[in-house]
Structure 1
């Protein structure tokens, strides 16, 4: 198949998760991505373990976000290597970096510098908190951004401390936003013939992630959101919104009429809440009734009542149950990727379909400098082993 970004060259100078995830998505859609790494250890994510599991000397985290890329190892402090990197940049369509503000300027690879070498270049950069301001030099780490952005404060029940997400959501949101900006700039380049600078930060992406509730807060006289003390799931939504324990598992209930729910479940106390305004004002009391009632039956029993009636609800699956479900298998969301030496990993595929096509690639993540010789011959110059 002809993928939409085929023919584009992307240089990925980034490390950890946010920048590499953006480069990964561009690779998924057909771009050629060359990862530019230090010879001594490469991307620090190679040794960043989210479990004790590794494959062929690198963490599974690294493998999952650096598949389908090439790697060239260069010492950016070495004049010869820097000269070779310039040759790469002169030929590139996109360059991605996520160093702290000022680092690329010291190396001599800032946008102001490289756009003189290649006016067509789209230069993407991710910072933790922006290029300016009192936080610009703080570590751009996901948990810290969740904490500073107010995101963690929204999670959990009212009597709980702030609860962070179980995922690196700031990194992934910023990576997605960078891809959007890069693609927009490439479209503009096709019209104007000029490249451009795309800037995102973990903080801005996490603030945008909260646009719905922040907008409500900003237009509600600054009133603080109120987390429910019973099965909180959304600070601004009334009952029954939440996840409830059943006799053998859990069930999630989304938006819907509380009185209709009471009738369907034969939960008598809910009949007292006929006024929709009470579904938020008396949210905790309603949810407490549901909490106690739903424990009396199995999840399948409740679903068998609610789903035929069109009430918004679902089972709450573990990964094991999800992976075994026919609905998951139908998506074909996993793929096998491997290195040239046979080391193999099961991972997810690109979630985007274009013209009905599922985009997969069996190419695994590269070893440090694995493609040095190939890239040296193609672009010319010194490449450190």
Structure 2
């Protein structure tokens, strides 16, 4: 059966917020290759930790978000590893990068290796701006994006939703943006750069909260209007 992304090759260098992007593309037929340094990326190391209390939650998350992907180890600090990546990038239609992961800080070099590809960068707050380098995790991103503010009872403190909500929401939005860019790339041969902020993705997912402010200048509350 033909799938939407048959023959689309994707290089996935993500380790947290961007992992769901490759999973979604893989489910729709793309050939997704996850590239890791020797010793693995942080999510693999967490999933193989000696401490079972750390390992057990991480392993299910790792297996779900990376299901269907091929895996390749490359030492991108070596000339041989970079040459191997450049060869793979030549045939790739999409390259997924993430802040804190391999080659995120070498965007210009990556684009040189794949000028006709979509290069999508995923980060907590985007590549530019005052928070570009700010630390973040799922809890702080749920708070910064506003979803924690809308979770729980109005009489109680905001709540963090269970699971890796920042990863799932960001992945869905990043996959959509990448698909739109890929549509043009496949038609025109032009490469594109996509910059995805997890905070902005979460804020955009808050039902009608943005519209409540735009039209009525009301801040939505958990358990109240707009939740």
**Range class of TM-score, shorter chain:** 0.7 to 0.9
Structure 2: runs of 5 or more not aligned? none
Report how far residue 48 of structure 1 moved.
3.4
- Pair 1:224 & 2:216 matched: no
Match of 2:37 in 1: 38
Match of 1:5 in 2: 5
Report how far residue 167 of structure 1 moved.
2.6
CA deviations on 1:86-123 (whole Å, 9 max, x unpaired) are 11111111100112499633xxx41x333333221111
CA deviations on 1:32-73 (whole Å, 9 max, x unpaired) are 111100111x12112436x84968xx8121111111111111
Report how far residue 215 of structure 1 moved.
1.8
CA deviations on 1:142-192 (whole Å, 9 max, x unpaired) are 211111223212222122011111132221111111111111111111332
CA deviations on 1:323-359 (whole Å, 9 max, x unpaired) are xxxxxxxxxxxxxxxxxxxxxxxxxxxxxxxxxxxxx
Structure 1 Cα separation of the partners of residues 183 and 77 of structure 2: 34
Structure 2 Cα separation of the partners of residues 29 and 103 of structure 1: 26
3-state DSSP of counterpart to 1:88: helix
Structure 2 Cα separation of the partners of residues 89 and 80 of structure 1: 14
Match of 1:344 in 2: none
1:140 and 1:202 in contact (8 A); partners too: no
Q: How does 1:231-380 map to 2 (within 5 A)?
A: 232=223, 235-236=224-225
3-state DSSP of counterpart to 2:202: helix
Please tell me the root mean square deviation across aligned C-alpha atoms, in Å.
2.4
2:10 and 2:31 in contact (8 A); partners too: yes
Match of 2:20 in 1: 21
- Residue 190 to residue 224, structure 1, CA distance change in 2 (3 Å): closer
2:46 and 2:54 in contact (8 A); partners too: no
Structure 1 Cα separation of the partners of residues 130 and 55 of structure 2: 38
TM-score with structure 1 setting the length: 0.53
Structure 1 Cα separation of the partners of residues 46 and 171 of structure 2: 18
Report how far residue 22 of structure 1 moved.
0.5
Give the count of matched residue pairs: 222
3-state DSSP of counterpart to 2:18: helix
CA deviations on 1:223-275 (whole Å, 9 max, x unpaired) are 43344xxxx3xx216xxx9xxxxxxxxxxxxxxxxxxxxxxxxxxxxxxxxxx
Match of 1:214 in 2: 210
Structure 1 Cα separation of the partners of residues 30 and 46 of structure 2: 26
Structure 1 Cα separation of the partners of residues 73 and 119 of structure 2: 20
Which of structures 1 and 2 has the bigger CA Rg? 1
TM-score with structure 2 setting the length: 0.88
Match of 1:155 in 2: 151
Structure 2 Cα separation of the partners of residues 148 and 82 of structure 1: 36
2:212 and 2:219 in contact (8 A); partners too: no
Q: Aligned match of 1:135 in 127, 131, 134?
A: 131
Structure 1 Cα separation of the partners of residues 93 and 221 of structure 2: 47
Structure 1: runs of 5 or more not aligned? 242-385
Q: Aligned match of 2:183 in 184, 187, 190?
A: 187
2:145 and 2:201 in contact (8 A); partners too: no
Which structure exhibits the higher relative contact order, with contacts defined as CA atoms closer than 8 Å and separated by 6 or more residues?
2
- Residue 103 to residue 28, structure 1, CA distance change in 2 (3 Å): closer
Q: Aligned match of 2:166 in 154, 163, 170?
A: 170
